[in-house]
Homo-oligomer: A and B are copies of this chain.
Protein backbone atom coordinates (compact mmCIF):
# COMPACT_ATOMS: atom_id res chain seq x y z
CA UNK A 1 0.00 0.00 0.00
CA UNK A 2 1.35 3.37 -1.00
CA UNK A 3 1.41 5.84 1.87
CA UNK A 4 0.20 9.26 0.83
CA UNK A 5 1.95 12.43 1.88
CA UNK A 6 -0.14 12.70 5.04
CA UNK A 7 0.94 9.26 6.26
CA UNK A 8 -2.26 7.36 5.52
CA UNK A 9 -2.77 4.85 2.72
CA UNK A 10 -5.74 5.35 0.36
CA UNK A 11 -7.31 2.28 1.97
CA UNK A 12 -7.03 3.87 5.40
CA UNK A 13 -8.44 7.15 4.15
CA UNK A 14 -11.51 5.31 2.88
CA UNK A 15 -11.94 2.97 5.86
CA UNK A 16 -11.50 5.65 8.52
CA UNK A 17 -13.12 8.51 6.62
CA UNK A 18 -15.63 9.20 9.45
CA UNK A 19 -12.74 9.68 11.87
CA UNK A 20 -10.85 11.95 9.49
CA UNK A 21 -13.88 14.25 9.23
CA UNK A 22 -13.71 15.01 12.95
CA UNK A 23 -12.02 18.38 13.59
CA UNK A 24 -10.92 17.22 17.08
CA UNK A 25 -9.43 14.00 15.70
CA UNK A 26 -8.58 14.17 12.02
CA UNK A 27 -5.60 12.75 10.15
CA UNK A 28 -3.24 13.22 13.07
CA UNK A 29 -5.46 11.30 15.46
CA UNK A 30 -5.76 8.42 13.01
CA UNK A 31 -2.03 8.29 12.39
CA UNK A 32 -1.44 8.18 16.15
CA UNK A 33 -3.81 5.20 16.43
CA UNK A 34 -2.05 3.39 13.61
CA UNK A 35 1.31 3.93 15.31
CA UNK A 36 0.23 2.73 18.74
CA UNK A 37 0.16 -0.66 20.36
CA UNK A 38 -2.19 -1.68 23.16
CA UNK A 39 -2.16 -4.74 25.41
CA UNK A 40 -5.58 -5.95 26.59
CA UNK A 41 -5.33 -8.19 29.65
CA UNK A 42 -8.38 -10.46 29.67
CA UNK A 43 -10.61 -11.47 26.76
CA UNK A 44 -13.78 -11.80 28.81
CA UNK A 45 -16.74 -9.53 29.57
CA UNK A 46 -14.72 -6.31 29.57
CA UNK A 47 -12.16 -7.43 27.01
CA UNK A 48 -14.76 -8.32 24.37
CA UNK A 49 -15.89 -4.77 23.52
CA UNK A 50 -12.42 -3.37 24.27
CA UNK A 51 -10.65 -5.42 21.60
CA UNK A 52 -13.51 -5.15 19.08
CA UNK A 53 -13.54 -1.35 19.25
CA UNK A 54 -9.73 -1.07 19.33
CA UNK A 55 -9.53 -3.31 16.26
CA UNK A 56 -12.25 -1.50 14.33
CA UNK A 57 -10.83 1.98 15.05
CA UNK A 58 -7.43 1.12 13.62
CA UNK A 59 -4.98 0.66 16.52
CA UNK A 60 -1.79 -0.53 14.79
CA UNK A 61 -1.06 -3.47 17.08
CA UNK A 62 -3.29 -5.13 19.66
CA UNK A 63 -2.03 -7.79 22.05
CA UNK A 64 -4.51 -10.00 23.87
CA UNK A 65 -3.40 -11.97 26.90
CA UNK A 66 -5.57 -14.64 28.55
CA UNK A 67 -5.15 -18.33 29.37
CA UNK A 68 -8.84 -19.19 29.64
CA UNK A 69 -10.88 -21.26 27.23
CA UNK A 70 -14.31 -20.17 26.00
CA UNK A 71 -17.20 -21.66 28.00
CA UNK A 72 -20.88 -21.52 27.07
CA UNK A 73 -21.72 -19.68 30.28
CA UNK A 74 -19.35 -16.87 29.26
CA UNK A 75 -21.38 -16.07 26.17
CA UNK A 76 -24.13 -14.11 27.92
CA UNK A 77 -21.62 -11.25 28.24
CA UNK A 78 -18.49 -12.10 26.21
CA UNK A 79 -19.88 -11.08 22.83
CA UNK A 80 -16.60 -11.58 20.99
CA UNK A 81 -16.76 -15.38 21.30
CA UNK A 82 -19.06 -17.37 19.00
CA UNK A 83 -20.46 -20.75 20.09
CA UNK A 84 -18.12 -22.41 17.59
CA UNK A 85 -15.15 -21.44 19.79
CA UNK A 86 -16.48 -23.03 22.99
CA UNK A 87 -13.61 -25.20 24.29
CA UNK A 88 -10.97 -23.18 22.43
CA UNK A 89 -8.57 -20.54 23.72
CA UNK A 90 -10.16 -17.14 24.30
CA UNK A 91 -7.23 -15.32 22.70
CA UNK A 92 -7.62 -17.38 19.50
CA UNK A 93 -11.33 -16.65 19.38
CA UNK A 94 -10.91 -12.95 20.13
CA UNK A 95 -8.09 -12.48 17.62
CA UNK A 96 -10.08 -14.27 14.91
CA UNK A 97 -13.05 -11.94 15.51
CA UNK A 98 -10.78 -8.89 15.30
CA UNK A 99 -9.11 -10.10 12.10
CA UNK A 100 -12.53 -10.62 10.55
CA UNK A 101 -13.51 -7.00 11.12
CA UNK A 102 -10.12 -5.44 10.38
CA UNK A 103 -7.51 -7.41 8.47
CA UNK A 104 -5.22 -4.38 8.20
CA UNK A 105 -4.03 -4.35 11.83
CA UNK A 106 -1.55 -6.50 13.70
CA UNK A 107 -2.93 -8.89 16.35
CA UNK A 108 -0.76 -10.75 18.84
CA UNK A 109 -2.11 -13.70 20.82
CA UNK A 110 -0.58 -14.27 24.26
CA UNK A 111 -2.23 -17.55 25.22
CA UNK A 112 -1.05 -17.52 28.82
CA UNK A 113 -1.91 -16.00 32.17
CA UNK A 114 -0.24 -12.65 32.79
CA UNK A 115 1.87 -13.06 35.93
CA UNK A 116 4.68 -11.24 37.64
CA UNK A 117 7.10 -13.67 35.99
CA UNK A 118 6.14 -12.87 32.37
CA UNK A 119 4.47 -9.46 32.62
CA UNK A 120 7.58 -7.27 32.17
CA UNK A 121 8.46 -9.05 28.96
CA UNK A 122 4.94 -8.88 27.52
CA UNK A 123 4.04 -5.35 28.67
CA UNK A 124 7.35 -3.95 27.37
CA UNK A 125 6.14 -4.50 23.80
CA UNK A 126 3.12 -2.16 24.14
CA UNK A 127 2.44 1.54 24.69
CA UNK A 128 -0.77 1.25 26.69
CA UNK A 129 -2.27 -1.46 28.93
CA UNK A 130 -5.98 -2.17 29.44
CA UNK A 131 -6.90 -4.08 32.61
CA UNK A 132 -9.92 -6.20 31.71
CA UNK A 133 -9.27 -8.92 34.29
CA UNK A 134 -11.61 -10.28 36.93
CA UNK A 135 -9.56 -10.59 40.11
CA UNK A 136 -7.79 -8.53 42.75
CA UNK A 137 -4.20 -9.90 42.64
CA UNK A 138 -4.08 -9.31 38.86
CA UNK A 139 -5.21 -5.72 39.40
CA UNK A 140 -2.35 -4.98 41.82
CA UNK A 141 0.10 -6.87 39.60
CA UNK A 142 -0.89 -5.06 36.40
CA UNK A 143 -0.80 -1.65 38.09
CA UNK A 144 2.64 -2.30 39.57
CA UNK A 145 3.90 -3.54 36.21
CA UNK A 146 2.64 -0.38 34.50
CA UNK A 147 4.43 1.73 37.14
CA UNK A 148 7.79 -0.01 36.72
CA UNK A 149 7.44 -0.07 32.91
CA UNK A 150 5.98 3.47 32.84
CA UNK A 151 2.85 2.64 30.80
CA UNK A 152 -0.59 4.24 31.16
CA UNK A 153 -3.23 1.81 32.44
CA UNK A 154 -6.95 1.85 31.54
CA UNK A 155 -8.65 0.01 34.38
CA UNK A 156 -12.27 -1.16 34.29
CA UNK A 157 -14.31 -3.44 36.52
CA UNK A 158 -17.86 -4.76 36.55
CA UNK A 159 -19.84 -6.90 38.96
CA UNK A 160 -23.53 -7.47 39.40
CA UNK A 161 -25.21 -4.33 38.11
CA UNK A 162 -22.34 -1.93 38.75
CA UNK A 163 -19.18 -0.85 37.03
CA UNK A 164 -16.14 1.35 37.68
CA UNK A 165 -13.53 2.88 35.41
CA UNK A 166 -10.43 5.04 35.69
CA UNK A 167 -7.00 5.66 34.15
CA UNK A 168 -3.92 4.98 36.30
CA UNK A 169 -0.31 6.15 36.07
CA UNK A 170 -0.95 8.64 33.30
CA UNK A 171 0.51 12.15 33.17
CA UNK A 172 1.47 12.15 36.84
CA UNK A 173 -1.82 10.71 38.07
CA UNK A 174 -2.25 8.05 40.76
CA UNK A 175 -1.66 4.32 40.42
CA UNK A 176 -3.91 1.57 41.81
CA UNK A 177 -1.86 1.41 45.03
CA UNK A 178 -2.17 5.17 45.58
CA UNK A 179 -5.93 4.59 45.89
CA UNK A 180 -5.81 1.20 47.54
CA UNK A 181 -2.56 0.83 49.50
CA UNK A 182 -4.00 -2.08 51.50
CA UNK A 183 -6.00 -4.88 49.90
CA UNK A 184 -9.56 -5.41 51.12
CA UNK A 185 -10.48 -8.48 53.19
CA UNK A 186 -11.00 -11.51 50.97
CA UNK A 187 -14.69 -11.61 51.90
CA UNK A 188 -15.06 -8.36 49.94
CA UNK A 189 -13.55 -9.81 46.75
CA UNK A 190 -16.38 -11.14 44.63
CA UNK A 191 -16.03 -12.34 41.05
CA UNK A 192 -18.56 -12.40 38.23
CA UNK A 193 -18.24 -16.18 38.21
CA UNK A 194 -19.41 -16.34 41.84
CA UNK A 195 -21.75 -13.40 42.19
CA UNK A 196 -23.13 -12.93 38.73
CA UNK A 197 -23.10 -9.96 36.39
CA UNK A 198 -25.62 -8.57 33.96
CA UNK A 199 -23.92 -9.16 30.60
CA UNK A 200 -24.30 -5.65 29.20
CA UNK A 201 -22.69 -4.00 32.26
CA UNK A 202 -19.12 -5.02 31.32
CA UNK A 203 -20.21 -4.08 27.78
CA UNK A 204 -20.76 -0.46 28.83
CA UNK A 205 -17.56 -0.32 30.90
CA UNK A 206 -15.53 -2.06 28.17
CA UNK A 207 -16.67 0.45 25.52
CA UNK A 208 -15.70 3.28 27.86
CA UNK A 209 -12.31 1.61 28.43
CA UNK A 210 -11.80 1.43 24.66
CA UNK A 211 -12.65 5.15 24.46
CA UNK A 212 -10.10 6.05 27.13
CA UNK A 213 -7.46 3.91 25.40
CA UNK A 214 -8.24 5.62 22.08
CA UNK A 215 -7.92 9.04 23.71
CA UNK A 216 -4.56 8.16 25.27
CA UNK A 217 -3.33 6.64 21.98
CA UNK A 218 -4.50 9.51 19.78
CA UNK A 219 -3.59 12.25 22.24
CA UNK A 220 -7.01 13.89 22.04
CA UNK A 221 -9.33 14.96 24.84
CA UNK A 222 -9.24 14.67 28.57
CA UNK A 223 -8.94 11.17 30.05
CA UNK A 224 -10.33 9.88 33.34
CA UNK A 225 -6.90 10.15 35.03
CA UNK A 226 -7.59 11.57 38.50
CA UNK A 227 -11.31 10.84 38.08
CA UNK A 228 -13.35 7.69 38.47
CA UNK A 229 -16.54 6.80 36.64
CA UNK A 230 -19.04 4.92 38.79
CA UNK A 231 -21.92 3.26 36.97
CA UNK A 232 -25.12 1.92 38.49
CA UNK A 233 -26.97 0.03 35.76
CA UNK A 234 -30.12 -0.64 37.79
CA UNK A 235 -30.95 3.03 38.17
CA UNK A 236 -29.04 4.28 35.09
CA UNK A 237 -27.00 6.64 37.18
CA UNK A 238 -23.40 7.58 36.47
CA UNK A 239 -21.12 9.60 38.74
CA UNK A 240 -17.78 10.90 37.62
CA UNK A 241 -15.89 11.77 40.77
CA UNK A 242 -12.58 13.45 41.52
CA UNK A 243 -10.14 11.08 43.18
CA UNK A 244 -6.88 11.67 45.04
CA UNK A 245 -3.69 12.33 43.09
CA UNK A 246 -0.49 10.34 43.18
CA UNK A 247 0.57 9.55 46.74
CA UNK A 248 4.11 10.62 47.61
CA UNK A 249 4.17 7.68 50.04
CA UNK A 250 2.95 5.13 47.50
CA UNK A 251 4.69 1.77 47.74
CA UNK A 252 4.91 1.53 43.95
CA UNK A 253 5.02 5.07 42.53
CA UNK A 254 5.85 7.25 45.56
CA UNK A 255 8.80 9.63 45.64
CA UNK A 256 10.90 7.32 47.78
CA UNK A 257 9.52 4.06 46.46
CA UNK A 258 12.14 1.36 46.09
CA UNK A 259 10.01 -0.74 43.78
CA UNK A 260 12.03 -2.03 40.85
CA UNK A 261 11.50 -4.50 38.02
CA UNK A 262 13.27 -7.03 40.18
CA UNK A 263 11.09 -6.45 43.24
CA UNK A 264 8.04 -6.60 40.97
CA UNK A 265 9.02 -10.02 39.63
CA UNK A 266 9.44 -11.48 43.10
CA UNK A 267 6.33 -9.88 44.66
CA UNK A 268 3.75 -12.46 45.81
CA UNK A 269 0.45 -10.95 44.59
CA UNK A 270 -1.72 -13.88 45.59
CA UNK A 271 -0.22 -13.86 49.08
CA UNK A 272 -0.53 -10.06 49.38
CA UNK A 273 -4.24 -10.15 48.52
CA UNK A 274 -4.95 -13.60 50.00
CA UNK A 275 -6.80 -14.31 46.80
CA UNK A 276 -6.04 -16.47 43.73
CA UNK A 277 -5.46 -15.08 40.22
CA UNK A 278 -7.20 -17.95 38.51
CA UNK A 279 -10.45 -19.59 39.55
CA UNK A 280 -9.59 -22.80 37.69
CA UNK A 281 -8.65 -24.55 40.94
CA UNK A 282 -11.81 -23.44 42.70
CA UNK A 283 -14.87 -25.67 43.17
CA UNK A 284 -17.42 -25.44 40.34
CA UNK A 285 -20.52 -23.51 41.09
CA UNK A 286 -23.72 -25.48 41.16
CA UNK A 287 -26.87 -23.59 40.38
CA UNK A 288 -30.53 -24.16 41.21
Contact = CB atoms under 8 A, between A and B. Distances in A.
Interface of A: 4, 6, 13-22, 24-25, 27, 49, 52-53, 56-58, 72-73, 75-79, 81-84, 100-103, 160-161, 192-201, 203-204, 207-208, 210-212, 214-215, 220-224, 227, 229, 233-238, 240, 285, 287-288
> Looking at chain A's contact residues, is the secondary structure mostly helix, strand, loop, or mixed?
mixed
A234 B24 contact: yes
B238 A222 contact: no
26 contacts: A15-B75, A17-B73, A17-B196, A18-B192, A18-B193, A19-B196, A19-B199, A21-B195, A22-B196, A22-B198, A27-B288, A49-B207, A53-B79, A56-B76, A57-B198, A57-B199, A83-B103, A200-B211, A204-B204, A204-B208, A208-B236, A215-B234, A220-B234, A237-B240, A238-B238, A238-B240
Nearest to A83: B103
Contact of A58 (B15, B76, B222, B234): B76
Copies of chain A in the complex:
2
B287 A21 contact: yes
A57 B24 CA distance: 35
B214 A200 contact: yes
A203 B207 CA distance: 6
A100 B75 CA distance: 11
A211 B204 contact: yes
A288 B6 contact: yes
Nearest to A221: B234
Contact of A84 (B6, B20, B100, B229): B100
A255 to B, nearest CB: 28
Contacts of A22: 160-161, 195-198
A79 B77 CA distance: 16
B203 A15 contact: no
Nearest to A80: B101
Contacts of A78: 56
Given A18-B193, A56-B79, A161 B24 contact: yes
Given A13-B287, A58-B76, 19 more contacts: A14-B72, A16-B76, A18-B76, A18-B192, A20-B196, A20-B288, A22-B161, A52-B79, A53-B199, A198-B211, A203-B210, A207-B207, A211-B233, A211-B236, A221-B235, A222-B235, A222-B236, A223-B236, A238-B238
Given A81-B101, A203-B210, A236-B224, A21 B196 contact: yes
A14 B286 CA distance: 9
A92 B154 CA distance: 35
A204 to B, nearest CB: 4
A193 B72 CA distance: 37
Contacts of A236: 208, 211-212, 215, 221-224, 227, 229, 240
